[in-house]
Amino acid sequence: MITTGSRKYATKSIVQLTREKYPKIKRNDSFKKLEQEDINFFKSVLQNDNGVVTNKDDLEFFNEDWMRKYRGESAVVLKPKTVQEVSQIVKYCNEKKLAIVPQGGNTGLVGGSVPVFDEVILSLSSMKKIRSFDKVSGILKADAGLILENADIYLSERGYIFPLDLGAKGSCHIGGNVATNAGGLRLLRYGSLHGSVLGLEVVLPDGTILDSMHSLRKDNTGYDLKQMFIGSEGTLGIITGVSILCPARPKAFNVAFLGVSSYEAVQKTFVHARGELSEILSAFEFMDSKSQKLTAKHLNSPHPLDDPFPFYILIETSGSNKEHDDAKLESFLESAMENGLIDDGIVAQDETQVQTLWQWREQIPEASTIGGGVYKYDVSLPLPDLYGLVEAVRAKLNDANLIGETDEFPVVDAVGYGHIGDGNLHLNVAVRRYTKDVEKVLEPFVYEWIQSKKGSISAEHGLGFQKKNYIHYSKSDQEIKMIKDLKNHYDPNGILNPYKYV
Amino acid sequence: MITTGSRKYATKSIVQLTREKYPKIKRNDSFKKLEQEDINFFKSVLQNDNGVVTNKDDLEFFNEDWMRKYRGESAVVLKPKTVQEVSQIVKYCNEKKLAIVPQGGNTGLVGGSVPVFDEVILSLSSMKKIRSFDKVSGILKADAGLILENADIYLSERGYIFPLDLGAKGSCHIGGNVATNAGGLRLLRYGSLHGSVLGLEVVLPDGTILDSMHSLRKDNTGYDLKQMFIGSEGTLGIITGVSILCPARPKAFNVAFLGVSSYEAVQKTFVHARGELSEILSAFEFMDSKSQKLTAKHLNSPHPLDDPFPFYILIETSGSNKEHDDAKLESFLESAMENGLIDDGIVAQDETQVQTLWQWREQIPEASTIGGGVYKYDVSLPLPDLYGLVEAVRAKLNDANLIGETDEFPVVDAVGYGHIGDGNLHLNVAVRRYTKDVEKVLEPFVYEWIQSKKGSISAEHGLGFQKKNYIHYSKSDQEIKMIKDLKNHYDPNGILNPYKYV
């Protein structure tokens, strides 16, 4: 997760081309190479200003991923404004066998939104209109390129909230959120997009427009086609419109920041919180002590809790009655203290403190880049095993003598944090430099460890380019066979987001 | 919705065979007819007692649907106990082109769970084990044939609740619930099964076992295959196992029963309730006056409210703190009274009263059969239009002189009720006898009316046999094309639940 709206370059250095970094991956020769006649066709379709971008400097942003790990060499970015334009482009590309990368806010963390070679980049950034909003039902219909934060601001003015929140909200698109099945900070409360998305408009690989922009909470007439596209990372179709059910905006928010003595206590506090806070519990995040040390350096400010603790918990409640929520939280904290679950804690007294406390969770990803780079793992694990992965990785790095405080060690530290409520761990291995030694210790060890616990190697970030080859650690042969079969069935030419996902 | 666990026969008369009632529908000659050698094979696979049912009397229950509208002529019911047995049966049937009807509790309302001709009935009723339950995460894994009520009782003893509740809970299976994407009474609070089901075990049309029994809240590795089977009504595969996330059981329940003066007031009260009761609102049901009159006759007891009202509302809250919930409900009722939204109301004082008040909503389906029969429509509509359908139908029946209090009129009354929170209306046309005159007034009028408002012709009951030909009122040609394409792709022989759905 990236915590700021604007892109931050860790260094000014040029990102290595993906094809150079991964020389074993070859361009698919069945794909046509872009020619001037193709550009001419795109220009004839996109007659709006800047609809066809070919300027080298302008292309840079679209060719590079947010993490600055991957760089493609696309010679053209297309910015359609309507679904019909998207349809015409895709139909043409399918006929000519021009490969396409659909791109939203380009904030993905697994290299899924940038070209690997010379794929045409189809950016949804010019499709950003709100189509309709129903104040009674809370159903929002919008273009896929609408920025998440803009959607939420629009909704907040009308008493509603977008059922998804994540660090990249200032840049990411709601269409990209759906295409990657983004999870984020509010999943515990509002559930997954598979539940809240009511309809989609999608351009299929042959250019056909699938208009499924329904606005019904219940509709049992035929297969729920839209579900296939949620989390398909642009490999089955290009999402151009989203219809989504938005909940009423809570009137009251509380945030508590707690210190506990063990991972065992983190788990017990979670069970206790779910029982006591129940319907108002909207986030239960945990952070280990090392993540907080990095964040303290990064923020250059004193930690909210005076004494250090092995683990920290951030609890957010949101409800309709501040008085009741305060009472529930107070009673929960008292009993958790009495039962010896938590050792110390602070409750935000105003909106500023809410933001400040959240920083100690939300800034960890950036803090993890303090040494220069970071290996990021975003995994699902059964709760009892969740933190075990961080300990196992740290032990392996120690054994290999790769982790330490001085510059001779490539690894700064391995830190763990994440959404306990969702069984979702973020493991960040902060490094001073990317080395083969470190990579050999990490992989496939991390994936094998997850597999042995029946976890998922990608809880919310998706597969993209980075994890394409690791899917078998989380899915069975039969599942992978069906996934490939679906892909081949809908996109026989394989033009949509190739070299990724499956 | 059927409100009792045991089947009630409205009459003792024999149900007409579906093939006689619908002579235009022909048996697909590419399907093999059952022979003794097939029975022998099934017996070799199902060596448990009663695994192969061929006794005519015993077959009756499985051949007839719950509504007693449809009757097939299957000569065999198979009751496997393991997924391997299901797999062997399906593989054999696919090779021999023997058509299969998967059957759960056989409580469906659209004729989806019974054979149309001589299809083999594959009953999941002997697969009813709980496989595992995780007390920390609330994840239940169970066989598909587990009865919903048994699942909920098991969970209630462990502080959890099944995220679905419906009238047929005493008979319906959780596998059938998933296969039909059942909605029910708690959808407002816990969302749809697309959000809460975490994994499925499915036997595909060729007999392949798809083991996707995951237990992770977040897993973004590949297409979410299980979603395809949710709501597919046994046409893409046979669900044999379900992994589902269960919420903590609320500690406090409240039920209020209100009288209001107009449908306008129903809508306004809903918006008000969602704002004030927010996270504790777990049901918002409405009933019209005519539905209550029928129910009063059926229950033979005085209505909870002394004076009659054009519309009634049942509100349920469920939360973790009784005191807070009481305060919220009280404050909501006071302000709703002050604003003139509601005219009268009663709040249940104990569990018995909770049950009694719910009866006035839950008994409507049975009360609607008071004249002998009922035409049932279960539709989704935009909230402002929802009750308009009932008024339009009543007006049409009046114009045609078909509705009245005496026996010469075929129609007793047309009543409306349902889940306002989900935009889901149940329209019941209570009749003394099924006549072509009435049917001509109702259809396609009802479907066309729904289509004109962009509603769904089946909110939660599904398509089954009854609504197969009406899907185009709710889905576009492109959607129907894709649905058929998916069906053909996965089940090229069409052996799974033929003559239905698409």
pLDDT digits (tens, 9 = 90+) for B350-395: 999 999 999 999 999 999 999 989 999 999 999 999 999 999 999 9
CB–CB contact A483 B223 (8 Å)? yes
Residues forming beta bridges with residue A425, ordered by sequence position: A379, A418
- Which CATH number does the domain A130-245 belong to among 3.40.50.300, 3.30.465.10, 3.40.50.720, 3.90.1150.10? 3.30.465.10
* Residue A159 sits at the chain B interface (C-beta within 8 Å): yes
Which range among A239-243, A263-267, B13-17, B321-325 shows the weakest confidence by mean pLDDT? B13-17
CA-closest candidate to residue A474, choices B222, B131, B200: B222
Residue B5, pLDDT above cutoff 80:
no
Task: For residues A100 and A90, give the distance between their C-alpha atoms in angstroms, rounded to a whole number.
Answer: 8
Chain A residues in contact with B134 (beta carbon < 8 A): 382
pLDDT reported for residue A7: 39
CA-angle at A275, arms to A270 and A279, nearest 5°: 100
Q: Which residue has the tokens 């975003």?
A: A378
Contacts of B368 (CB under 8 A, 6+ apart): B291, B294, B374, B376, B415, B428, B430
The CA distance from B136 to A442, in Å, is: 29
Give the pLDDT score at B136: 84
Question: Is the CB of residue A482 less than 8 Å away from at least one CB of chain B?
Answer: yes
B382 at A interface, C-beta within 8 A: yes
Burial of A151 (0-12, 13-18, 19+ CB in 10 A): buried
pLDDT single digits (tens) A398-415: 999 999 999 999 999 999
CA–CA separation, B485 and A73 (whole Å): 36
Q: Tell me, what's the pLDDT at A30?
A: 98
| Interface-testing mutation among B223, B226, B316, B489, with chain A (most A C-beta atoms within 10 A) | B223
Quick check: A132 contacting B, CB < 8 Å?
no
CA distances to A230, B111, B177, B441 from B195, rounded to whole Å, are 12, 26, 14, 38
**φ, ψ for residue A336, nearest 5 deg:** -65, -35
Give the Cα separation of A357 and B164 in Å (integer). Answer: 36
Q: Calculate what percentage of chain A has a pLDDT beyond 90.
A: 91
Q: Which amino acid is at B302?
A: P
Region B255-260: mean pLDDT is: 98
Which candidate in B180, B266, B279, B330 is best for mutational testing of the A interface (most A CBs within 10 A)?
B279
Q: Do strands B120-123 and B77-78 pair parallel, antiparallel, or not at all (unpaired)?
A: parallel
CB contact under 8 A, B320 and A276: yes
CA distance linking residue B263 with residue B311, whole number of Å: 7
Please state, as a whole number, how many other Cβ atoms lie within 10 Å of the Cβ of residue A381: 22
Question: pLDDT (tens digit, 9 = 90+) per residue, B131-161?
Answer: 999 988 899 999 999 999 999 999 999 999 9
Residue B477, chain A, CB below 8 Å: the answer is no
Contacts of B236 in chain A (CB under 8 A): 223
CA distance A24 to chain B (A): 23
Q: Which of residues 289-328 of A touch B (CB under 8 A)?
A: 319-321, 324, 327-328
- Backbone torsions φ then ψ of B364, nearest 5 degrees: -60, -45
DSSP, collapsed to helix, strand or coil, labels residue A240 as: strand
Distance CA A229, CA A237 (A): 7
Is B280 an 8 Å CB contact of chain A?
yes
B330 close contact with A: CB closer than 8 A = no
Predicted pLDDT of residue B9: 40
Q: Among residues 253-272 of chain B, which lie with CB inside 8 Å of chain A?
A: 267, 270-271
Contact B419/B396 with Cβ under 8 angstroms?
no
Distance, in Å, from the CA atom of B116 to the CA atom of B7, rounded to the nearest integer, reads 20
Contact check, Cβ <8 Å, A474/B221 = yes
For B227, the closest chain A residue by CA position comes to A227
pLDDT given at position A142? 98
Reported as type and span, the H/E element at residue A77 is strand A77-78
CATH 3.30.70.2740 fits A368-461, yes or no: yes
Q: What percentage of chain A carries pLDDT values higher than 70?
A: 98
The answer to whether domain A130-245 and domain A252-364 are alike in fold is no
CB contact under 8 A, B215 and A454: yes
> From CA A417, how far away is CA A386, in angstroms rounded?
10
Judge whether residue A278 has pLDDT over 50: yes
Calculate mean pLDDT across residues B102-128: 97
Q: Residue A218 is nearest to which of B280, B423, B502, comparing CB atoms?
A: B423
Distance CA B75, CA B35 (A): 10
Task: Categorize the per-residue pLDDT at B459 as very low, low, confident or very high, splitting at 50, 70 and 90.
Answer: very high
Say which DSSP state B64 is in: B
CB contact under 8 A, B223 and A218: no
* Beta bridge partner(s), residue B426: B378, B417
Q: Which residue of A has its CA nearest to B275?
A: A248
Return the H-helix or E-strand segment holding A193: helix A193-196
Residues of B in contact with A459 (CB under 8 A): 216, 218-220
List of chain A residues whose C-beta atoms are within 8 Å of the C-beta of residue B423: 137, 216-218
Nearest alpha carbon to residue B185 among B160, B166, B163: B166
CB < 8 Å to B501, chain A: 222
Topology (CATH level 3) of domain B18-123: 3.30.43
Q: How many CB pairs under 8 A join A and B?
A: 253
Q: Are A493 and A90 in contact (CB under 8 A)?
A: no
How many angstroms separate the CA atoms of A171 and B469, rounded? 45
Q: Does B335 touch chain A (CB under 8 A)?
A: no
Q: What is the mean pLDDT of chain B?
A: 94
Of B194, B210, B277, the CB nearest to A224: B194
Q: Where are the domains of chain B?
A: 18-123, 130-245, 252-364, 368-461
B467, A199 Cβ separation under 8 angstroms: no
**What are the tokens at A168?**
């990249």
The 10s digit of each residue's pLDDT in A53-81 is 999 999 999 999 988 889 999 999 999 99
Arithmetic mean of pLDDT, B26-54: 95
pLDDT of residue B6: 35
Q: Is B252-364 a CATH 3.60.20.30 domain?
A: no
Residue A207 region, left (φ>0) first, then alpha (ψ -120 to 50), else beta?
A: left
Q: Which residues in chain A are closer than 8 Å to B209, comparing Cβ atoms?
A: 478
The mean pLDDT value for B405-421 works out to: 95
Q: Do B217 and A380 touch (CB under 8 A)?
A: yes
For the segment B329-337, the average pLDDT, to the nearest whole number, is 97
> Which residues on neighbouring strands pair with residue A200, listed in sequence order?
A212, A242
β-bridge pairing A411-419 and A252-260: unpaired
Q: For residues B410 and B403, what is the distance between their CA atoms, to the nearest angstrom?
A: 6
For residue B328, give how far its alpha carbon lies from the nearest alpha carbon of chain A (Å).
Answer: 8
Report chain A's mean pLDDT, rounded to a whole number: 94
Phi then psi dihedrals of residue A219, to 5 deg: -160, 100
pLDDT of B12: 52
Q: Are A137 and B383 inside 8 Å of each other by CB?
A: yes
Rounded CA-CA distance A240/A131 in Å is 12
Spatial separation of the C-alpha atoms in residues A11 and A69, rounded to whole Å: 12
Q: What angle in degrees, to the nearest 10, is found between the helix axes of B322-338 and A322-338?
A: 180
Strands A120-123 and A77-78: parallel
Contact B486 A423 (CB under 8 A): no
CB contact under 8 A, B219 and A280: no
Give chain A's count of helices (H) and strands (E). 18, 16
Average pLDDT over residues B264-269: 96
pLDDT at residue A12, as a whole number: 52
pLDDT digits (tens, 9 = 90+) for A379-398: 999 999 999 999 999 999 99
- What is the enclosing helix (H) or strand (E) of B375? strand B373-380
Task: Supply A396's token pair.
Answer: 């392996």
Structure token digits, residue B251: 């500690």
Chain B hits for A424, Cβ within 8 Å: 217-218
Taking the CA of residue B213 and the nearest CA in chain A, the distance in Å comes to 11
**Which residue has tokens 């990411």?**
A172
Q: How far is A269 from chain B (nearest CA, A)?
A: 11
Q: Which helix (H) or strand (E) holds A344?
A: strand A344-347
pLDDT at A4: 31
Question: What band does A6 get if pLDDT is binned at 50, 70 and 90?
Answer: very low
A501, two tokens: 């996902």
Give the nearest chain B residue to A473 (CA atoms). B221
Q: Select the residue from B219, B233, B235, B480 to test the A interface by mutation, using most A Cβ atoms within 10 A.
A: B219
* Chain B CB within 8 Å of residue A477 CB: no
Q: Is A187 on the interface with B (CB under 8 A)?
A: yes
Which residues contact residue B395 at a Cβ distance below 8 angstroms, ignoring those fewer than 6 apart? none
Identify the pLDDT of residue A5: 32
Q: What is the pLDDT of residues A13-23, one digit of tens each?
A: 789 999 999 99
pLDDT of residue A9: 40
Q: What is the mean pLDDT of residues B231-246?
A: 98
Number of other CB atoms surrounding residue B276 within 10 Å: 19
Q: CB contact, 8 Å: B383 with chain A?
A: yes
CA distance A236 to A257: 42
DSSP structural state of residue B41: H
Report whether pLDDT(A304) > 70: yes
B445 pLDDT more than 90: yes
Residue A435 neighbours by CB distance under 10 Å: 14
Q: State percent of chain B over pLDDT 70.
A: 98
| Contact between B475 and A221 using a beta-carbon 8 Å cutoff | yes
With an 8 Å Cβ cutoff, are B320 and A328 in contact?
Answer: yes
The structure tokens listed for A478 are: 């039969």
Rounded CA-CA distance A417/A426 in Å is 5
Neighbours of A45 (CB within 10 A): 18
- Position B368, amino acid: S
